[in-house]
Structure 1
Amino acid sequence: MNKGMLVSELRSRYPKALGIRKRLAKGRVMLIQKHIIPAEEAKWAEENKQQAEIVKKYRKKWKQYFAPMEKKIEMLLQQASCYKERKDKEFLQTDMLFCWIAYGFQPDEYLCFELEGKSFAERKEYISDTDRYSYVYSICDISDMQMFLNKIKTYQMFHDFYKRDAVQIRKKSDYGRFEAFVNKHKEFVKKKACASRGSGVELVRFEELGMSVKEYFEKLLRSGRYLLEERIEQGIETACLNRSSVNTVRCVTFYSRQEIMIPYCFIKVGKNGSFIDNGGAGGILVGIDNGTGVLNTDGYDELNRKYEVHPNSKVQFKGFQLPEWEKMKSICVKLAQRMPSVKYIGWDMAYSTKGWVVVEGNMGQFIGQQIVWKKGIKKEVDHIMESIDKAI
């Protein structure tokens, strides 16, 4: 069992006593915000152009904490085409580090939110990765939300909305079900139980593995826990965007006191030859009009490259109509109703030959929404939060 899976398992077993869970959630929020500097200090640094001095001060104080982030930034400066030829990379690194300790922004958020040159007030309009965790822990039960960090448990809870076969690989006694599954599905999707952003997801063609059913089962068992799923057969209505990937809609639900709200949806489209559609795996994100299901922005990837049309299929994004849109939203409302203690969930939905199906549920994020609409949504989300009962 890897570290992520172990942590998720332990948190899912927190005592049922509400007071204990609240204290644990508060402690988690405090830990997340531990390395965020006071807002007054960040504002002063912005207004007086002292970002470099602040970074120097806290780099000395939090030396070990800085090292992994500096590596992330170095990698982004090498990958992003808009940064490759820049002569002021030292300035960019400093400003990214400042935005990280002042607001909690990751380097890809700095790039995609186009934070360079923005003021303190403008940067505060965006929800950062750190803000996201603070929101989640403040409105979601800290134990129940762990289910969405485990694909096996998510499938068990919502399997009737998946509309496809699946089998878990956890222990030796799973072999019989695994053997029946592989004999029925020679091509299937393998997912690590605890992984995100498309990592650990692989399309498997069993006949190309060159090993017996028993040998493959033992190999999986040695390397972790997995969920194997029947491959989704994508409907032609969305397959035309890109046929090699299952193109999915991220539908965000908030469980408020009055209703289940769906304020944001966007679609993730893969590129030619890629099975994964996630932005973190090179996919393209496009905004959706919530009322109509029509794509209403250009596409953007997580290196902030813009696409008016898909680079391979040549389908224009703006104006593309998604099928059975109201039905998709209705399904997401039903899904959210099943977990009232988890008040913020991101549902990945795919349009298949069987209609809309769940790909998986997530604890969600806010990067996609802010990338495609090129604006911060913090005020909007804060307004939504006022209508939700808090968990802490």
Structure 2
Amino acid sequence: MTERPTAQGVASVQAAPHTPVFSPAAVVASCVGFVLIGALQALYGPAIPAFRDEFVLSPSAAGLGLSAHFVGGVGGVLLFDRLYGRIGNRQLLGSSYLLMAVGAAGFALAPNWPIGLAMALLAGLGFGGIDYGLNQLFAIGFGRRSAAMLNILNAHFGVGAILGPALIGVVGSDHYPAIFLGFALVNLPLLLCLRGVRDRAPEPADATRAESGRGLVLGRSLGSVLAMFVALYVLHVGIEAGVGGWEPTHLETVGYGAGVAATATSVYWLMMTVGRFLAAPIALRFSAQSIITVSCAGMTVCLLLASVPGLAPYAYAGVGLFIAPIFPTGLPWLNRAAPRARRAGAVVIAASMVGGVAAGPALGKAIEWSGIRAVPLLLCGISALCLAATLWLIRATRATTTH
């Protein structure tokens, strides 16, 4: 990432008013694309019993399927970012859809586990390209409506994450090859809708105004601002993955049955999806800074309440609701705070994926030391750090609220 000596003031980053970045059909297709990437990420876990039986795998070896997917996802983000602006957006998105389709089909038909892992990596490469590409284009393509549109887009990821496991549950994990093949085929019609995507990357609406904003952000270096955005994204995705992974175990430890614990975890993911749909109209009226501050504060309070056994299932649902807007709402704020740091979006999205991968082992080590009952308090401490990072960013990017 190229750094400048000081953080930039805001320039509205949007496409020229006469040429929208997305046609209405392309917006719908993009939301369908996010349903698909949400489903793909969520399909690996429920299919693990079938992987283990078919390829005679240990639990850790079977879990490598999702790890390969995430490694590919990080690679896809960085590759898309490297080619962004050099190759047309349609070609980049189309290649990402094809990579995901080929990878999913190859995973379904893999004759052995090493080839399966290679195909999961390939599918993840396409996944990362779509995730970053559409987030980036939505962040700069709708002007003041970008935060609202990003919440809607990312809410569809949650829809897919709910539907994927449900589909495995209906047909059975033994039929995972057919599901992955069907998933690959559903990708292909989306290629036809790419004609509605503006092919060239939108440019900042007023580059000179961004230049004149140098030094207005309390003299903070651009590198410091980007580092704090990365910290915010890594930490909040760590909480997201931590609750999703450890909520059932914590609830069972404090006395709830396995069925109740599983249902409560499903409600957590559902509330995250609902929260993003609810945040869309809110983002039209309130600033990203305000929304993320309230989200981090609410998330911290809910995690504190989750340490009370009688309140825990409801408190975890509240965490899902409050954490929902942070990822999509932060991207337009990042683009305004650092309008010339084109790679900033790629850095924070790739970092969020790394955070999701690292959260499991890191939280596991902390739990070994403190015990399962401390899960909500550990996550509450991380959430407090998210709130502190947000307040720091508000001060450091104060020029963005007045420029």
TM-score, normalized by the shorter chain, greater than 0.5: no
Higher percent of residues as helix: 2
Structure number with the bigger relative contact order (C-alpha 8 A, sep ≥ 6) is 2
Q: TM-score, with normalisation over the residues of structure 2? A: 0.25
Greater Rg by CA: 1
